[in-house]
Amino acid sequence: MSLTPIILCGGAGSRLWPVSRELHPKPFMRLGDGQSLLQKAFLRAVALPGVEHILTVTNRELFFKTEDEFREVNHGNCATSFILEPFGRNTAPAVAVAALRVAQVHGPDSVMLVLAADHLIADQVAFAAAVKQAEALARTGKIVTFGIRPEGPETGYGYIEVNGTDVVRFVEKPSLEKAREYVESQRFMWNSGMFCFTARAILREFRQHALDIFSATEACLAGSRVAEATGWTQVELEANAFAKVREDSIDYAIMEKCTEAAVVTCSIGWSDVGSWAAVSELSVPDANGNRVEGEALLHDVANCYLVSHDRLIGAVGVEDLIVIDTPDALLVANRHRSQDVKHVYAALKAQGHEAHRWHRTMHRPWGTYTVLEEGPRFKIKRIEVKPGGRLSLQMHHHRSEHWIVVSGMAKVVNGEKEMFISTNESTYIPAGHKHRLENPGVVDLVMIEVQSGEYLGEDDIVRFEDVYGRT
């Protein structure tokens, strides 16, 4: 009777803009030790007793990046599988389809541990003890949630009123006055958003309280494509069927209606890292309360959090500021209003501004590209292809491209020709030519691409062959 951790990896992370974007959400944020929140969630799950397999539910567009993140830290070669959503439908459908899949593969009495990909837990020993307690309750048919003993009145979290292991009620994010009242009563815990149950038990609850979600996800899973290899499985949910699934959270759809809910109260050093103020608390302040990541010169500055890995920040006579500098966007906020950063993200999304969706550096299954400069009728990119990486055989209607190899060796298809291009060599690809780039070597291939033409959008691409299934 093994334990199967389910990692839910998605969301927009709107409160951590501009580092977090739609296609680079909060779980991929790297912390000071170089690990991402997603990698920490994976390692936390792998370290639990009895874990032999981890299932991750994520967006189709985030799959290859998620796989790369796991590959960096999965030194024990724990078996991994993925359920790929074509678009987000919140946590209830994600949990439902994961439970259906676990019941298929491991049996309906398998215990599932649902974890968010973007939380921090400092005390692994206490976490493992809490999971053990939750697992025992789950085997009795309970739907178990984890309540965190509050460290103070927090208005950014939901609360659970508890009586021993019984859930009395769930409470939405309160006012500061209510939060103080909850903490003083010692009956209310922070709602961690982590859960433990058997596949059989949670599917029972979906049939009772959210039958439409259960039926739609069951039909979607039945018609979805499954790819398998040794130690690895991928289920790609069919988009038209998944579009029929109602969007809802697991809290609203199930937990607030469930009569079999139980709670494990714990102190595990938990944080949902839900704002820049929370992120700043992860580093040690100087004598003036300032925290700096990158290079900064400060004069008469107090209680500020400054992040810039590309440029020098100079600050004079300011206090209580958060400054987050990225290559294409700069955030300046009062640290006491860091929760309100989500309004900037929402405005960018409403305007259709690309800064809500992606960074200048984009991750692809074969590597990355960075937009260095662009203007009317031209765009310059730095392209890095991993060893063995291979772009699709493709063609553009509206642009031509000039490729210059900076380091490594490129194998190139250009029209009817196939050639190898070394450092300082180049090739020109006219619009309308089929072409492909591949790295046949054992080191990264780095090249500069100069695009020119009347339209340079990323959607001007026709794929003929693709080893990553994107045709």
Which tokens in the block code for residue 465?
């062959």
pLDDT of residue 394: 96
What average pLDDT does range 207-219 have in this prediction?
A: 98
Characterize the bridge pairing of strands 79-85 and 53-59: parallel
* Cα gap 219→85, rounded to integer Å: 14
Q: Is the pLDDT of residue 471 over 80?
A: no
Characterize the bridge pairing of strands 270-271 and 120-121: antiparallel
Q: Is the pLDDT of residue 365 over 80?
A: yes
Which of 17-21, 231-235, 317-321 is predicted least confidently?
231-235
Residue 197 CB: number of other CB atoms within 10 A?
Answer: 31
In sequence order, which ranges of 186-321 are alpha helices (DSSP H)?
199-209, 211-222, 239-242, 250, 276-280
What average pLDDT does range 380-403 have in this prediction?
A: 97
Domain ranges for the chain, please list them. Answer: 3-271, 276-351, 361-465
What average pLDDT does range 56-79 have in this prediction?
A: 93
250-260 per-position pLDDT tens digit: 999 999 999 99
pLDDT of residue 160: 96
| Rg of the chain (C-alpha set) | 24
Q: Domain 361-465: give its CATH architecture.
A: Sandwich (2.60)
**CA atoms within 13 A of residue 347's CA, in its CB half-sphere:** 7
Q: What angle (nearest 5°) sits at the alpha carbon of residue 298, between those of residues 294 and 302?
A: 105
**Domains 3-271 and 361-465 equal at CATH topology level:** no
The pTM of the full predicted model, rounded to 2 decimals, is 0.91
What average pLDDT does range 265-288 have in this prediction?
A: 95
pLDDT of residue 441: 95
Q: Which residues contact 418 (CB under 8 A, 6 or more apart)?
A: 411, 412
Question: Closest by alpha carbon to 158, among 258, 52, 38, 252?
Answer: 252
Strand order in the sheet with 361-364: 361-364, 367-375, 378-385, 445-453, 399-407, 426-429
What average pLDDT does range 74-84 have in this prediction?
A: 93
pLDDT higher at 51 or 471:
51
375-414 as b/e: b if 16+ CB within 10 A: eeeebbbbbbbbeebbbbbbbbeebebebbbeebbbbbbb
Q: Is the pLDDT of residue 74 over 90?
A: yes
Q: Whole-number mean pLDDT of the chain?
A: 95
Confidence band (pLDDT; 50, 70, 90) for 39?
very high
Question: Closest by alpha carbon to 18, among 341, 363, 335?
Answer: 341
pLDDT of residue 94: 98
Q: Domain 3-271: give its CATH architecture.
A: Alpha-Beta Complex (3.90)
Measured CA distances, 90 to 40, 58, 60, 97, 444 (Å): 22, 11, 15, 12, 37
* Cα gap 48→72, rounded to integer Å: 19
pLDDT of residue 12: 79
Q: Is the pLDDT of residue 370 over 70?
A: yes
* Helix or strand holding residue 182 (H, E): helix 176-185
417-456 per-position pLDDT tens digit: 999 999 999 999 999 999 999 999 999 999 999 999 999 9
pLDDT of residue 403: 97
* Cα gap 188→162, rounded to integer Å: 6
Which tokens in the block code for residue 256?
């607030």
pLDDT of residue 156: 85
Share of the chain above pLDDT 90, in %: 91
